[in-house]
Amino acid sequence: MARIIYVNGRYTPWAEAAVHAEDRGFQFGDAIYEVCEVRDGHMIDEARHMQRLERSLGELKIASPMSRSALARVMRETIRRNRVTNGSVYLQVSRGTRPRDFLFSYATDMTPTIVCLARSLSRSKSEAGAAVGIGVRSMPDMRWGRCDIKTVMLLPASLAKEAAKEIGAKEAWLVDADGFVTEGASSNAWIIDKNGHLITRAVGNDLLCGITRTTLIDLIRRQGLELVERPFTIAEAKAAREAFTTSATAIVMPVVRIDDVPIGNGAPGLLTSKLRGEFHSVAEVSRS
């Protein structure tokens, strides 16, 4: 099936979906995005994703291009036109197009560029992947100081994932100057210690406040499990009983190896798999 991409008001065939060469997203990485899981044709945790999108726009002083409900309509229509039942929807907003200039505040008439795409992902393939788990590679976090904003400046993350791939790992766990894990290149990082405590770094400017992380915390609280929001080192993670990552596309993904060290018995952890199985009992499902 031909893929359809929304660009600035038009639903265009993939081959024709283009933005201007002087779009600030292209020249400066001056753009933010959201990725939302699509499950059984519905967006998951839409309200939280839209809230974070608005926060990202606000932090960069990009004018909101349209109302939250209008953006959601674009996302739904993109999902529909691409016949996505299970997969993800991606929404990107850049500050807009202007002759290249570092300064932007004078250009009060700039119109944000909006791009939306949707992609199918086989549920059985995802589940098969989660049944095996992933390896992660630790490496220095070389990103900027505002990782709480979901910008498209993903080159460090892209390079980190390429480096992870070199050792057969699917994700990179990024380590700050003090030796603590900030997060994954495209996910939040978690460990479970020998007491069954779930440990993940508290949110701040150095990591993204993942929506899957937030919703998983709802589940953890509902189940009366112990949550500890604090930084942890790679050495601690390697000695953990279980480890996993969270993201809208991978949900709760077991980590079975960090660098060359197996986690636990080297298979997905029991609590991790249970949390994955129960995640959608707490996540918000958009019915409209």
Largest CA distance in the chain: 58
CA distances from residue 81 to 1, 64, 74, 230, 271 in whole angstroms, order as listed: 10, 24, 10, 43, 38
**Contact of 111 with 96, CB cutoff 8 Å:** yes
Q: 125: number of CA atoms within 13 Å, CB side?
A: 6
Those residues whose C-beta lies under 8 Å from the C-beta of residue 83, and which sit 6 or more positions away, are 1, 120
CA distances from residue 240 to 106, 116, 174, 213 in whole angstroms, order as listed: 52, 39, 17, 19
Dist. CA 124–CA 121, nearest whole Å: 9
Considering the complex, what minimum distance in angstroms separates the CB of residue 209 from ligand PMP?
8
Helix (H, G, I), strand (E, B) or coil at 107: coil
State the residues that interact with ligand PMP by CB under 6 A.
35, 183, 186-188, 208, 210-213, 246-248
DSSP line for 122-139: -HHHHHHHHHH-EEEEEE
Dist. CA 70–CA 87, nearest whole Å: 21
Tell me how far apart the terminal alpha carbons of the chain are, to the nearest angstrom. Answer: 25
For residue 161, indicate whether it is catalytic: no
CA distances from residue 37 to 147, 186, 212 in whole angstroms, order as listed: 21, 14, 10
Residues marked as catalytic: 150
